[in-house]
Structures are given as C-alpha cells and as structure tokens.
Structure 1
Amino acid sequence: MKKILFIICFLVCANAFSQILSSNVEKKTLALGETDHIVIKIDNIGGQKVSAAPKDELLPFHFEEIKDSIGVNANSYERKIEFAVYEEGKFTIPELEFKVGGKILKTIPYEIEVINTAQKGDQINDIMKNKEVKLEATDYWELYKWYVLAALALIALIIAIIMFVKWGRKKKSSPVVATNQTLKELESLKKKKYIEEGNYRSFYVELIDISRNFITKQYHLPADVLLTDDLVQLMKKNNTISQENEKIVEEVFVRGDLVKFAKTFPDKNTMEKDFMDIREFVKRSSKDLEFENLRKDV
C-alpha cells in the first residue's frame, strides 16, 4: 500500500513540475484575406529559456503573419500570432517546435480551409471615389521624358547613319584625293626637266602613264590596259569625260604613241603645251564627275 501511495505522489509531483504546452487556433475555416489567430502557451517553465523560430517566421509560406507577439514571465511563455491567407484551398499548420531548456515540445498540427466568399455578379465598390488631379507640363514631362529622350536618340542615330552613308569621310580613292595625287606626280615629272633637255621619249612615256593611272582611278575606266584607239572609243561611248577633255586625252595619247615608235619628234613648245593641257584636264575632272552625278540623279 505504501508503495502505491509513493508512486502516486511521485507522478503528481512530476506532473506538477513538468512543462505543459497547449495551442489553439481561433478559426479552422477562413475567407480569403480574413484574419485568424493561433495561440501557443507553455506553463511551468521555471525560469528556463524558451527557444523557437524568430518573430514573423514561425508559420509556413502560405500564412501571411500580420502580428507576432511574445509574452514571457518566470513560469509561463505565451506566443500569439495573427495571420491571413490569400489563396483558396486547404493549408496545414504543421507541428511547431519549442525548446524549453534541453527539452523539445511540439504543438499539434492544424488544417485551415480558405474559401472565396465572393459571388458572381457581386458589385465591387471603390473604398474612395476617384479623384481628378490636374497635371502640369512638368508632370507630363516627368511621366514621359524617358520615352521622348529615347525617341530623340533614335532619330539622331538614324540621321547620323544617313549622313555618314551619304556624306561620310571620303575614301582615299575619292576624286579630290586622286586629283591632288596626280597633280603632285605631274609636278615631279616637270622637275625632271625632260622638256628643257629635249628628252621627249621619257617625257611622253611618263606623262601617258600618269594620265592612264589617273583616268583609271578617277573615271573607273580600264585605261591602264587598253590601247589608245580602244580607250578613245570607250570614252566616247561611256560619255563620262567631257568632249573638251576627251579631245585633249586623244591628242596627247596619239602623239605619245607616235613618239614611242619614233614616228614624230615634238619640240619643246609642243611638249610644254601637252603638259599644261593634261594638268588642266586633271583639274577639270571634278566637273565631269559632278555632271555625271547630276545626270544619274535625273
């Protein structure tokens, strides 16, 4: 009999001094966005530290915690969480762990059903009436400035591309560069003093070579490979070089061929005139090209 009484006393004392965890959920069925509460209470903690998930992180993902309050005194611990769910369906609050000293206590799981109480055809009223706001020019600028700036940048880019294509940097083969280069070559020829020395053969060989290279670059005609007669026919057919310039090229080239084969012996005045005529032809070539471009545009 004494042994039974001892066991009963032991159980009563153990129960009296052990921690007791209790939990309660206010509502098991909620409307979308409706708030609910779960309360967890632990008694007989005896001043021991209670550890659990941090504030606003105790409940799982679908439960939006609105308020999480913790109350602790010497002998009890209470945690009250206000929450809401914004999706339809059934959701579970799992076992929640609380560590008291070295002992782990767990709540029971709860199943929460969330329903949409709105009915088809329900009228939805604004909480507040729409308010008209008068916008100033600066307000419109703030709203649309990035669109305007982007449009202006695009237009500027298009204009820049067009200008570059149409009036971009001139290539080394441009008419002005070809003209200047040929004039320098003619000046170099003159400094060799072939005219003054009567060296007509060397003079005409180099003069014709310079002229042929110039016609090839400036007019894009194969003057460097064609015979004089064929080149003259092509110039007349092509109609790119003016008649005045065609006449000069024909006369100088024919005379050069005659000199080359020792069929004529030009004097200094003739050599000087041919040199001046070719130089003027080179200078006037840009006018031929301008006329040709206008003719193509028309």
Structure 2
Amino acid sequence: MKKHLYLLILLISTAVFAQQKQLTTSIDTLKNKIGAEFKLSIKATVNTSSKVVFPNLKNFGALEVIQSYPVDTVKMDGQYELIKKYGLTQFDSGRYVVPSIKIFINSKPFMTDSLLVEVASVQVDTLKQKMYDIKDIAAAENSIGNWWKYLLVIALIIGIGAFIYWFIKKRQEKKLQAEILKTPIEKATTLLDTLEKKELWQKGEVKAYYSELTDIARNYIEEAIEIPAMESTTSELIAGLRAASVKKKMTLSKEIIENLERVLKQADLVKFAKSKPLDFEITDDRNKIQKVILTLDNSIPAEVEVEEDLLLNEAQRQKQIKIQLKKQRKKRIVTAIASVAFLLFATTSFFIITKGFDYVKDNILGHPTKELLEGEWIKSEYGNPGIIIETPKVLKRVDLTKTLPKDGMALIKEMQSFAYGSVLDQFYLMISTLKFKQETQIDLAKSMDGILQSLEVQGAQNMIVKQEEFETKEGVKGIKAYGTFSQMDDLTKSSTKMYYEALLFSQEGGLQQILLFHQEGDKYGNEISERVLNSVELKQAGK
C-alpha cells in the first residue's frame, strides 16, 4: 500500500513539475527608480498546435502597465517558445508584489510566479545640490495662448469684407429699383442728361460720347418699339424701324428717320474711321437724338393690354430682375474679396516698409521657433541615467525599440526615449538613455557614427559632420557632433538645409544621447539650441 502511495505522490509531483515548466516568469531587475520601467517576461513552452492566451491587463497589483509588448515566437526542437513582455512602473517608492496571473493554454489555466520588486526614490545630496528659497506665487499659465489674436484679425477682415458687400448691395438694389420702375422714355431722357453732365466730348473723348449717345437711342428703340436695335447695323435698324412704324401704325415723318440715320452714320464714322466732328455738329447730333426719341415715344399708339399680356410682361420683368440681381451679386463678391485682399496687401506692405520683412514674417505671419523660444520653458529629468535639461516644451515618451535591430535589442537592458516634434519638422529635440545587460566598453566615436547613420536612414542627405569634445558644468565629458544635412519633402519635392547638434555621454554602464536640429539660418532655432545645451546637467558615475 505504501509502495502504491509513493508512486502516486511521485506521479503527482512529476505532473505538477511538468505543468509548471510550461510557464517561466522573469523580470529584468528587482530594484528600480521611481517612474522607471520593470520589464516582466512570461515564457510559455508549448507544442505547435497549442493555443496560448495572454491577458490584456492595465495593472499588475499596484504596478501600472505602461507598455504591452507583442508576443515573440521562437521555434525550438518541434516546440514553440512564446514570450510575452509587459512594461511596468510605479511612481511611489516602496516594495511591491507582482502577483500571479492566469495564462490559458488550450483553455486550461496556468499560474505565473509572483515576484517582489523594490521602487527606490531618487536620492538628493543636499551638500552638492543647491537649495533655493520658496518661490513666490506665480501666475497661472495662460492656457488660451495667442490664438485669440489671430481669430480677432480674421474676424475683423471678414467683418470688413461683409460691410463692403452689404454697402455695395444696398447701392445696387437702389439703382436697380430705380431703373426697373422707370419707363423707356424716362430712362432715355435721364441717361441723356447724365451723359451731358459727364462732358465727355469737351474732354476730347468724342468716340466714347457718340458710343453712349447711340446706345441710349438703340436701347430706347429696343425696349419701346421691340426691335433688335442693339444687335443691328445702322441700315438694318432703319429698315426695322420703318417696318415697325407701319406695323404699329406709327405716324413718323421722313425727317425723323433721316435724322436718326444721319446721327448713327456719324457715330459709325467716329468709332471706326476716327472722324472728328466739330463742336456745333456734336451738339446738333445730341439734339437730333433727343428729338427722335421724344417723337418716337409720342407716335407710339396707346394699347390696352389684356390680362395675359400684363402677366407676360410681369414675368419678363421678374426674369430681368433675377438676371440683374445675379450679375450684381457676383460683382459684389468680387469687389469685397478684392477690397479685403487690397487691405491685407496694404497693411503687410506698410509693416514691411516700416519694420522690415523679418518683422512681418515673425510677428504677423508667425514663426514656430520664435513662439517656442518666447514660451515658458520647463526644466525636468529624463531617462536612466537621468539627464536634467531645460526645454521649451515637455518631452513626450517615444518607443524607439521597434526601429532597432533585434540583435541590438538583445544587448540592451533598459532604453528610454523622449522627444518633441518629429524628424520632418522644422525643429526636433530627442533625449535617449540606455543601459546594457552586461558591462560594455563603449566607444563614443563609434556610437556617434551610429547615431548619424540612423539620421541618414531616415532621409538626411549630404551630411556634413564636425566633432569635438564636450564637457558639462559638472565636469562630465562626452563628445559633440554638429553640422548640416539636406532634408527632402516628398510632397513638394523640395530640399531644406538643416543644422544639427548631437551630444553623447557614457555613464553608469550606459549611453546618454541628446539630439536636436532645426532649419539652417533660423536665428530662433540657434538660440533654442544654445539654451538647451547650456542647461544640460549630468551626475558623474559613483558620485
């Protein structure tokens, strides 16, 4: 009986051991700084047909999941090793338990091992770290920014355009209403009076005078007698007028028609043969046209319009109003836009003449690096080993592990990267720190070559490189690379010349990297770069 019991215990323990061997739990470090990343690895060893489900968690106990990495698959001896990694962190110091979690293999639950980790606070050496008085109450940051100024300018421009549009619209409506309500004879006599007030022929503009004079007569004949006077030649108009006078039973004397024909022919000579009639001839022609119009109007027999004719005339009148309104609306829009454009051009020209083009570009059109330079700067610590630096904006954490080769990542224990902007922007700032799993002899020059080569991979062309030693205020030595490169814009197919600076330090068995670049010749970008690099603080290893 005892023999069977021993065998049973042996089988159970073997099964448990085999079950537990399917899962292996590990962590890259058991002690880390506040906010630094613990990388938890769970490895499942299964056959090729097994299905493994890793949970998607936001927290492991008191530890926050900041990154859930993709599952890595390694094939070994007909089996698969599935490795799932979680990036964990905690922002309070103390000891924390990474609890066991369930991993499902072929729908069966398996438990991972629990681990104990320690989060250490950042120690401050008060003998070396300067102490400062408590700062005065500072005004709250203006979250509104300067966007309201641009909005106000846009609203003012739109308001000016709307006012011009409304003003022209009122004038046009008044003019159109006056024209539509007038009879043909009223319009003709009014236009003749207006023509005389212009004094065109007295100013030597005889051709323009005869053109308007005959247009007044033709318009009247077309509206009152209903023949195509505007499109007809002089002979066609006279023939049409004679036919209409018979049809409408108009009593026209031969003298009236001959006077009209004589003035029209005189106008043709002035317009096409550059004839120059004498002053008394011009006055006589004007009187003849006026007499012709009045005589024609008196000779038109009065007709009693039936209701259908009245409706037809009203429909034609409404159609004419719509056509005129459409033309006037288009004219108003064009005038308003042209006025606003002229206003903008005049204002910009004034500032360019009085202040210079750079002032207009920087203060009116806007300059992104100028706004960065004049904004509120932030001093903060990034990465591990930490880099204390002052920047115009808070740097955001970025994941650069996907851009590195797997064989390179296998040597890295911890990597943290923070950046502002992108490699395609006019200004870019990036800080990166990394630690190696094993103690490594670091060649800063070769490491810098790798950084610059990565820039070329991302599109930098015609790179010019200069190198020199760099030392922080604390006496930490590193190297500095600087120079220029060309950056292509895929959309515009244009090239922009960029100026870059890169710092590299070797501290605590790892690397600390600072990279920034901006458009060459950008004085604000140069000032930002100088201020950023002058603010770099690093603690020497072992101190």
User: TM-score, normalised on structure 1?
Assistant: 0.37
Q: Which has the higher helix share?
A: 1
* Greater relative contact order (CA < 8 Å, ≥ 6 in sequence): 1
> How does the TM-score come out when normalised to structure 2?
0.23
